[in-house]
Structures are given as C-alpha cells and as structure tokens.
C-alpha cells in the first residue's frame, strides 16, 4: 500500500471506531447536561447491550437468521431492554442521591459499574464470547483499500441514530424539556414539567444508544467480553470532553475526532498500536490545557 491507501484505510477504521465512541459519548453528555453526573457505569451499560444483543441473536437466528435481519431485530430489542435497565438504575441508584453531595452520587455510579461488570463476569466465567453472524467480508475497493459492507452499514446506522437523536432533542417537546431542565430544574418544576420523568427518559435514551453501540461493536469485532465496557467508557468520556461535555453535537464530533485520532495515531512510528491509548489521552490533556470547554462547549457563567 502507498501512503494514500494507508490513510484511506485508517480513515475507514477511524470512522467505525468514532461512531461507537460517539454513541456512547451521547449518553455521558446527556446525563451530565441534565443532572451534572459523570455516569461512569455507562461503559458497562454498553457492555450489557452487547451481551443482550448476543443472547437475542442466538435466540432469533433459527427464525430470522444471523444476517442483517436478525442483527437489526436483536439490536432494537436490546436497545429497548437496556433503555429500561437505564431507567431502573436511575430510579434505584441515582434519584435518591440527587440532593446528596456530588461525590456520593459519583461513588454510587462506580458501584453500579462494578455490579454490572461483575455480574457479567459471574455469568460468563470471564470468557470471551463469539458474536457469530452470517455477514461476510464483501464490500468495495478504493484503490488497494477494501471497505466491507459491514463497516459501511455500521457507520450508516450510527449516523442515522445520531441524526435521530439530534432531531429528538431539538424538535420534540421532550427534547425541549431536557434542554430546559439542563438550564434550571427549579424553574421547570414551577412551570409544571415532570422533572423526574424527563430525567428517567434521558437515561432511557442514553442507555439505548449505548446498547446499539454494544451490539454494533460485537458485530464488528466478532467477540464480546465482560470487561469491554471499561476502556470504551473512558474513551467515550474523553470524546464527550473533547467535544464539550453537555453538548449533543459536541459528543458526536468528539467521538468521530477521537476515533480518527486513534486510527491515524497507529501510523505514527513512535506511537504504533502499543501507545495509541497513551497518544489519545495525551491529546485530551493538551485540549484541557488550551481549551477546557472542549471544541463545541461553552463557558458556564455563574450569576450571583
């Protein structure tokens, strides 16, 4: 491969990675924007979505096959189930802590993360699970670069979900209520908005998007693992910070930027695959030094 082909190949890889990061980052930024919580259990929600999609695809494959039809149905049901799980977690673990000090609810989020990851560990014995599908490696060639239809479909699905998310936030009454609560919860209560219901809806939507990313990651990599949510949780949080945490477009942009940085970073001789995570987090540190609010974030002004 010449340099142009290598860059094109890493562009394709970076877009796939970035779409996963962006979907998970949306959940981080939505929850933070509403209740100022860094939901560190969100990576394990992603992992739970992957395992649930794996189970559903196994159950459905005798009837609809393990191709795109089975994957889409499994992903939809996984999104609904994990969305409900997110609402349950919010009701049981987070809502009673909303008036508590920020450190208390952060510790609660870490506890939820440990419950989910150790539950998956107990159920799987810590073994990798093969996410088997009937998808092949067919695709199209650009020069010497081969782009599979699977990669194209995964990126396209992520883009559709992100556009739908943006339209939901900007065009619907529920989305407007979310934006209003992010500005002033007390005023929303006075205006008759059911704040707890909107917060629960926020957790549903964010968890559903993370589940979709988990199923797509299982399809793409071909295997899932109980600890798979830890690193992507950190990277999705990094993507949210890069884009400007609290900003929906920022989470999307941050995810894509992070995926591209990671993919192209592997081609830098001193970085390679061994140091790609160090490279990504070093970029985060530099961004926080020179632009603490992220690419699309805005500085909050505290009024006295």
Cβ(129)–Cβ(223) under 8 Å? yes
- pLDDT for the residue numbered 78: 96
- pLDDT for the residue numbered 1: 64
Cβ(197)–Cβ(6) under 8 Å? no
- pLDDT for the residue numbered 37: 86
- Kindly tell me the number of DSSP H helices and DSSP E strands found in the chain: 11, 4
> How large is the greatest C-alpha to C-alpha distance in the chain, in angstroms?
63
* Positions in the chain whose pLDDT score sits under 50: 301-304
- pLDDT for the residue numbered 304: 36
- pLDDT for the residue numbered 38: 85
- pLDDT for the residue numbered 300: 55
End-to-end CA distance of the chain: 60
Looking at residue 31, the DSSP 8-state letter turns out to be: H
Domains of the chain plus CATH, in order, are: 3-125+157-290 (1.10.3470)
Q: What is the pLDDT of residues 194-225, one digit of tens each?
A: 999 999 999 999 999 999 999 999 999 999 99
Name the pTM for this structure.
Answer: 0.91
3-state helix, strand, coil in the chain (%, to 5): 75, 5, 20
- pLDDT for the residue numbered 302: 43
Q: 3-state class of 7 per DSSP? A: helix
**DSSP per position, 27-83:** HHHHHHHHH----TTHHHHHHHHHHHHHHHHHHHHHHH-SSHHHHHHHHHHHHHHHH
């Amino acid at each position: 491969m010449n340099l142009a082909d290598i860059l094109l190949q890493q562009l394709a890889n970076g877009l796939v990675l970035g779409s996963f990061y962006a979907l998970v980052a949306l959940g981080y930024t939505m929850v933070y924007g509403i209740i100022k919580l860094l939901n560190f259990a969100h990576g394990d929600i992603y992992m739970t979505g992957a395992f649930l999609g794996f189970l559903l695809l196994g159950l459905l494959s005798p009837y609809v096959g393990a191709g795109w039809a089975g994957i889409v149905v499994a992903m939809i049901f996984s999104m609904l189930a994990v969305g409900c799980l997110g609402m349950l977690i919010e009701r049981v673990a987070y809502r009673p802590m909303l008036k508590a000090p920020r450190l208390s609810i952060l510790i609660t989020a870490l506890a939820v993360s440990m419950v989910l990851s150790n539950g998956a560990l107990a159920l799987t014995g810590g073994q990798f699970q093969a996410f088997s599908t009937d998808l092949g490696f067919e695709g199209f060639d650009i020069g010497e670069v081969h782009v599979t239809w699977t990669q194209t479909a995964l990126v396209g699905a992520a883009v559709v979900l992100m556009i739908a998310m943006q339209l939901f936030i900007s065009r619907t009454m529920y989305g407007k209520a979310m934006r209003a609560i992010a500005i002033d919860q007390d005023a929303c209560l006075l205006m008759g908005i059911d704040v707890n219901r909107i917060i629960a809806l926020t957790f549903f939507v964010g968890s559903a998007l993370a589940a979709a990313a988990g199923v797509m990651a299982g399809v793409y990599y071909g295997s899932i693992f109980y600890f798979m949510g830890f690193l992507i949780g950190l990277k999705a949080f990094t993507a949210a910070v890069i884009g400007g945490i609290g900003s929906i477009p920022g989470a999307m942009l941050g995810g894509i930027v992070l995926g591209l940085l990671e993919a192209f970073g592997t081609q830098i001789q001193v970085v390679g695959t061994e140091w790609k995570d160090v490279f990504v987090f070093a970029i985060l540190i530099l961004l926080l030094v020179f632009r603490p609010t992220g690419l699309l974030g805005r500085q909050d002004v505290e009024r006295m």
